[in-house]
Chains A and B, each alone.
Chain A
Amino acid sequence: MRKLMIAALAPALIGGTMSAALAGETLDRVMKNKVLVEVTDQAYPPFSYIDESGEVVGLDVDIAKEIAKRLGVEYKVETPSWEIIVAGNWHGRWDICVCSMTPTSERAQVLDFVNEYYAAPANIVVNVDNNDIKAATDLTGKKVGAQAGTTYEKYLLKELSIEKAAPIEFPFGDLTTVPYDSEDTAFQDLALGTGKRLDAVVSGYLTAKERVDKNPDKFKIVGEPLYGEPIWVAVDKGDPEWQAKIKEIFKAMEADGTLKAISEKWVGADITSKQM
C-alpha cells in the first residue's frame, strides 16, 4: 500500500519540482544562495575594469551591484574571457550579464536579451598622421582592425545585424579586416603609424574616446558614428520570471534617477536608454 502511494505520488512530486525549476530557476537560485553572480568583461573601461585597489569597478558593475542591493542579496562578479560569456549555456554559473553587450542575431540564439540600458555609437579611429580616412566610404581597400567576436568586426565583414533595430548600411568596398584578440593590440599596431600594420580601427566611441584622450599624440576619432549600438542586459536562456524581475528593477532605477546618476559618474553624461 505504501509502495503504491509512493508510486502514485512520485510523478506528481517530480513534476512539481521540475516545473518550479523551469519557471524562475535563476531567480530561485539568486534568492536561495543570497548572492547575485554577475559576469562581465575584465577590461572594458569605463564600463568594467579592475581598478588600482584590485577591485572590479565601472558603470556596468555599479548597475549590477544596485540590482543585487534591490534584490537584497550579496554581489559577486566573475570575469572569464568574452568568448566564454557570449557562448551562452551558463549552466547556473552566472545569473546576469550587465556587460555592454549588443544583441546580435547570433548571440540571441544562445542568450536572452532583457532590456536596453544604454546606446553607444561605433566610430573609426586613425593614427594622427592620417588625413585620407574621413568617413566609412574611405575604408575601401584599407587594413582595418577590430576586436574578434565584436560587432565592430562583424560590421567590417558586412555581416552585422542587430536584433530589434533598423538594418545597418555598409558604405565601403572591399577592405582587409584584421581581427585582434584584444583591442589593445590593435591600437598598439595603429600607433606604429598609418599603413604599417593598420590604417584604422573600428571601436566603441566611449572606450575609444578615453584612449584617444590619454594618447592625443597617437590617435584621433574621425567621421560620423558608423552605427548606433544598443546595449542590452543578457541572461541565460529561458527564465521569463527572472527577466520580468530585472525589467522591474531597471524601471525603478530609472524612476528614482539611479541609472542617470551611475551614468554621469562614469561617463560624465546620461547615456542610458528609456526603460520600456
Chain B
Amino acid sequence: MNARSKKLSEPLDDETAIDGKIGERIVPPPVFPRGATIGFELRVIAVWVTLLVLFVLFFLSFGLKFEIIFNRFPNLAGLKLTKDGFIQGAALTLFVCFFSIIASIILGLLSALGRLSTSSLLYGISTFYTSFFRGTPLLVQIFLIYLGLPQLGPVPDAIPAGIIALSLNYGAYLSEIFRSGIISVPIGQREAGASLGLPPWVVMWTIVLPQATRIVIPPTGSQFIAMLKDSSLISVMGVWEIMFLAQSFGRSSYRYIEMLTTAAAIYWLLASGFEIIQARLEVKFGKCYKKAH
C-alpha cells in the first residue's frame, strides 16, 4: 500500500493489527455498564430537568425582584450598545475572549514547542514564562500590565490590557496541555515521518499536531470555559463586561443578588455554547477513531 496516498494524520490499518484482527479495533468496555436499558438519553434528560427545576426553585426562594432583571437584562446580555456606541455585557466578554483565545493558542503552542526544543535559550524562556504566569494570580497580572506598563512608556487601554493579561495567563496553561498532547503521540509516528524523508516541521505540522489536537481538545475547552469566567476580573479596569455591569447595577439599585443571578445565568449559557463547540471539534478531530468510541 502506498502510504503517501493516505492522509498522513490517519493511523494506518496495519498498525492496529497488533491489537486484534486486521481493520478492526478493540472497543474497551464502558466504565459504567449501561446494561440493557432502553432510553438512557431520556432518563438523563429527566435528571437534568429535575435538577434544573430544583435549582430554579432555590433561586426563587431568594425573593428576587424580576422587574429589575428584565430591565437590565438587555445590557448584561450585550443586546444594547452603550451610550458611546460601544459593545457591552456578554458581547464585550465574547469579544475579549475571542482575541484572547487566538493569542493564547499561539502563545501556548510556541511555548510548548520551546519547552520540547533542544535549545537551552528557548527551553529557558518557555519554562520561565509558564512558571511566572501559572504561578501568580491573574488579578495581579492584570494590575501589573495596566498599572505597571505605563511606568515603562506604553499606556495600554483597559480592553487591550485585559486581552494581553488573559492571553499571557492562559497561554501558560495551554503550553502544558499542548506539550502533553504532543508527547502523547507515539514516537513511531515521527519516526515514520522521518523515514519518509519529511523535514521536521512538516512532520510536526502534518503528522504530530493533528493527532495531538484530538487529545488536547477536552482540556483546552475547559480552559476556555474558565477564561470566559475569569474575564470578569478585567472589570477592575472599568471594562463594561457582564460582571462589571452586574456589580454596578446591583450596587446602585441595592439589588445585588438579582444582578449576580442574572450574570450567573448568562455565563452558564455562554459556557454551554463553548461546550457544544468543544463537542463538535472532538467529533471532527476524532473521525478516524469513530469506529472505536
Q: A residues near B, CB below 8 A?
A: 42-45, 49-56, 76, 78-81, 83-84, 87, 89, 91-93, 182-185, 187-188, 211, 214-215
Contacts and interface: CB of A to CB of B under 8 A. Distances in A.
A29 to B, nearest CB: 12
Contacts of B143: 84
A81 B79 CA distance: 24
B147 interface: yes
A42 B244 contact: yes
Q: Which secondary structure dominates chain B's binding surface?
A: helix
Contact of B254 (A42, A81, A184): A184
B237 interface: yes
13 contacts: A42-B244, A45-B251, A54-B75, A54-B82, A54-B83, A56-B83, A80-B238, A81-B235, A81-B237, A84-B147, A84-B238, A183-B251, A187-B254
B250 interface: yes
Contacts of A54: 75, 80, 82-83, 88
B154 to A, nearest CB: 9
Interface in B182-199: none
Interface of B: 71-72, 75, 80, 82-84, 88, 143, 146-147, 150-151, 155, 158, 235-238, 244-245, 247-252, 254, 256
Given A43-B251, A84-B146, A84-B237, A52 B256 contact: no
B256 A42 contact: no
Contacts of B238: 42, 78-81, 84
A57 to B, nearest CB: 10
A55 B88 CA distance: 12
Nearest to B71: A52
A76 B84 contact: yes
B243 to A, nearest CB: 11
A61 B278 CA distance: 45
Contact of B237 (A80, A182, A183, A185): A80
A89 B248 contact: no
A184 B251 contact: yes
A153 B147 CA distance: 24
A42 B248 contact: yes
A188 B151 CA distance: 39
A89 B150 contact: yes
Contact of A50 (B146, B151, B235, B252): B252
B286 to A, nearest CB: 44
B256 to A, nearest CB: 5
Contacts of A44: 252
Contacts of A81: 235-238
Given A84-B146, A184-B256, A93 B236 contact: no
Given A43-B251, A45-B252, 6 more contacts: A49-B252, A56-B83, A78-B238, A80-B237, A81-B237, A84-B238
Contacts of A211: 254
A188 B251 contact: no
Contacts of B248: 42-43, 49-50, 79
Contacts of A42: 238, 244, 247-248, 251
Given A50-B245, A80-B238, A84-B237, A93 B155 contact: yes
Max chain A C-beta neighbours (<10 A), residue from B80, B235, B252: B252
B251 A55 contact: no
A121 to B, nearest CB: 21
B83 A53 contact: yes
A63 B255 CA distance: 27
Contact of A43 (B150, B151, B247): B247
